[in-house]
């Protein structure tokens, strides 16, 4: 067979093979077989062409170039065809849709919203104060001077500026009394605060170093412990979504109230974890000295205040055994409260 026949055969077979490739591997095999620089068929034909005498080169040069260009073109279109085939891969409409997990509100935020709602319905103003607080508002105005042992119970993180991370939301009471002193606010008032507080505390199942408190306080005329207890019961019924919650008051010392109490709660009588009393909040009648320091006459005005641990309340609501669930990043725990 002469070179002309070889070239024609190469063109016919090569174009046929390249047109028939169905995947990337067979395309590559066809490229190596026909256009490969080391042992491809075109390379052999070019070598045969180089060995021809000059006058025959003129005859075959054009045909050789034509066959070479046709095979390269066929390779390119096979490549494009396969790329298109990948893009147009069939879609199976019966395949299950990948799981989409909706987000959810953190359990603490859910209970906080319930509490803010019930206090708003009772005419309270919802406010907050800074986390980085002045000594004066966190302690001083609450009848806890610098050398008072009550400071030991609320050790905290101090900044080099002399400020501290607030240890309780009672700091907002301190700020409120300063506001009354400056004339910006006048009694009567009812305020509620839901916010983060910080303590230098050993962490265990019921203590964290960063937790949330709800502070409620009222200054008005003729306020008694009965108002305080009624308000606490209303709040617990709204937050726990039941009105048969068992509470008990124990006398307790807080420098900014007199008398002062701690309130415990339990959901069941008898045996078991739910029948155990859990300490939930501190409260009392606002100390006359705190009112006086704020420029409020205690002969005319009385008030109550309470401070509740929101994580503890949420633990009771959802029967959660460990406070570390809330600030830990284990989503398996938090996702149960969607």
Minimal CB distance residue for ligand FA5: 309
* DSSP assigned state of 137: H
**What residue spans of 88-181 are helical by DSSP H?**
107-121, 135-138, 170-181
The one among 74, 231, 311, 337 contacting ligand FA5 by CB under 6 A: 311
Q: Is 199 in the site for ligand FA5 (CB under 6 A)?
A: yes
Alpha-carbon distance 172 to 129, whole Å?
6
309 binds ligand FA5 (CB under 6 A): yes
Residue 137 interacts with ligand FA5 (CB under 6 A): yes or no:
no
Binding part of the chain for ligand FA5, among 115-123, 176-184, 288-296, 308-316 by CB under 6 A, reads: 308-316
Bond into 68 cis (ω within 30) = no
Which residues, numbered 168-187, are part of the site for ligand FA5 (CB under 6 A)? Answer: 168, 170
84-104 burial, b for 16+ CB within 10 Å, e for fewer?
eeeeeeeeeeeeeeeeeeeee
Listed residue (202, 201, 203, 206) closest to 276, CA to CA: 206
Q: Which helix (H) or strand (E) holds 55?
A: helix 54-87
Segment near ligand FA5 (CB under 6 A), from 10-18, 40-48, 86-94, 200-208?
A: 200-208
Determine which residue in the list 138, 143, 156, 213 makes contact with ligand FA5, applying CB under 6 A. Answer: 213
* Candidate list 119, 301, 306, 326; residue touching ligand FA5; CB under 6 A: 306
Instruction: Check residue 201 for interaction with ligand FA5 (CB under 6 A).
Output: yes
Does residue 279 interact with ligand FA5 by CB under 6 A? yes
Burial class (CB in 10 A: 0-12, 13-18, 19+), 314: buried
Residues near ligand FA5 (CB under 6 A) are 168, 170, 199, 201, 207-208, 211, 213, 215, 254, 257, 260, 279-284, 305-309, 311-312, 323
């Amino acid at each position: 067979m002469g070179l002309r026949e070889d070239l024609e055969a190469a063109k016919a077979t090569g174009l046929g093979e390249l047109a028939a490739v169905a995947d990337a591997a067979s395309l590559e095999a066809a490229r190596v077989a026909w256009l490969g620089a080391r042992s491809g068929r075109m390379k052999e034909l070019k070598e045969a062409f180089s060995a021809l005498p000059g006058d025959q080169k003129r005859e075959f040069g054009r045909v050789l170039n034509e066959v070479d260009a046709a095979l390269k073109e066929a390779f390119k279109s096979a490549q494009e065809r396969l790329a298109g085939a990948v893009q147009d891969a069939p879609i199976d409409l019966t395949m299950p849709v990948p799981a989409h997990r909706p987000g959810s509100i953190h359990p603490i935020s859910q209970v906080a919203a319930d509490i803010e709602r019930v206090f708003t319905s009772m005419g309270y103003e919802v406010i907050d104060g800074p986390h980085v607080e002045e000594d004066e508002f966190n302690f001083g105005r609450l009848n806890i001077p610098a050398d008072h042992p009550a400071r030991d119970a609320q050790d905290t993180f101090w900044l080099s500026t002399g400020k501290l991370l607030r240890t309780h939301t009672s700091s907002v009471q301190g700020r409120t009394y300063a506001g009354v002193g400056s004339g910006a606010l006048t009694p009567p008032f009812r305020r509620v605060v839901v916010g983060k507080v910080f303590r230098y505390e050993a962490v265990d199942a019921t203590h964290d170093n960063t937790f949330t408190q709800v502070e409620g306080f009222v200054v008005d005329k003729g306020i008694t412990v009965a108002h305080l207890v009624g308000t606490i019961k209303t709040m617990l019924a709204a937050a726990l979504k039941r009105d048969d919650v068992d509470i008990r008051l124990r006398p307790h010392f807080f420098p900014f109230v007199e008398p002062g109490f701690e309130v415990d709660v339990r959901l069941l009588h008898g045996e078991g974890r739910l029948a155990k009393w859990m300490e939930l909040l501190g409260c009392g009648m606002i100390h006359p000295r705190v009112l006086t320091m704020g420029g409020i006459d205690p002969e005319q005005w009385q008030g109550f205040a309470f401070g509740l641990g929101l994580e503890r309340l949420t633990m009771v609501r959802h029967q959660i055994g460990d406070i570390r669930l809330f600030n830990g990043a284990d989503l398996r725990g938090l996702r149960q409260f969607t």
